[in-house]
Amino acid sequence: MSLLLIAIAAVVVNNFVLTYFVGICPFIGVSKKIDAALSMGIAVTFVMTLTSIVTWVITDVILNKLNMPYLEYVAYIVVIASLVQLVEMFIKKTSPSLYKALGIYLPLITTNCAVLFVALLQAMRNYNLVQATVFGFSAGVGFTLAIVIMAGIREQLEMADVPRPFRGAAITLVTASILALAFMGFSGLIAA
């Protein structure tokens, strides 16, 4: 039950993008087309889940044993950077078309604060390994959900007659804020 709660909380109630406002860069950058957004979401989900697991191991096995929690940030960044490199190699080998679609945003997952946030939050909340895995995965699903919804809206926006000064990033940010307002409706669903 608590696993389900963690999942729901991470996907909708405390959606990373729309409640915590982390990971805005790819959220704005790759949300032009639904399929690219979906692949970005999947890549981020993959990285987040792996990060969550690996950082849990590092925190629990090394950092806590040595009583050095202050190394969290540095260690996590190293983990994330390496994992993203790994994912990039893997995607480049297995699916060149996906690699092309993600373009510059794939290496940018390295600096995606949402990924670091997952690692930090699961450490802060003292999750066990299973909880951390579920948390990382559902945070990624939440990110995917947000970015795909955004991409759907932006595809429609292409057709809309947007005033010139609002075109591009401006109307995107306005849309994002309205989406965030909508997601506030979930708050109070569970206290998490």
Binding site for another protein (CB under 8 A): 58, 62, 66, 68, 71, 74-75, 78-79, 82, 85-86, 89-90, 92-93, 96, 103-104, 163-165
For tokens 């940018």, the residue is 108
CB of 74 to another protein, least distance (A): 6
| Closest C-alpha among 147, 150, 122 to residue 55 | 122
CB neighbours (10 Å) of residue 66? 9
CB of 71 to another protein, least distance (A): 6
| Closest C-alpha among 119, 140, 129 to residue 75 | 119
CB of 115 to another protein, least distance (A): 15
Residue among 12 and 53 whose Cβ is closer to another protein: 53
CB neighbours (10 Å) of residue 82? 13
Residue among 57 and 130 whose Cβ is closer to another protein: 57
Cα–Cα separations (whole angstroms), residue 120 to 27, 60, 74, 89, 136: 20, 13, 11, 25, 11
Residue among 92 and 125 whose Cβ is closer to another protein: 92
Residue among 164 and 191 whose Cβ is closer to another protein: 164
CB-count exposure of residue 181 (10 Å: 0-12, 13-18, 19+) = exposed
Report d(CA 79, CA 141) in Å as an integer. Answer: 21
CB of 51 to another protein, least distance (A): 12
Residue among 55 and 144 whose Cβ is closer to another protein: 55
CB of 18 to another protein, least distance (A): 26
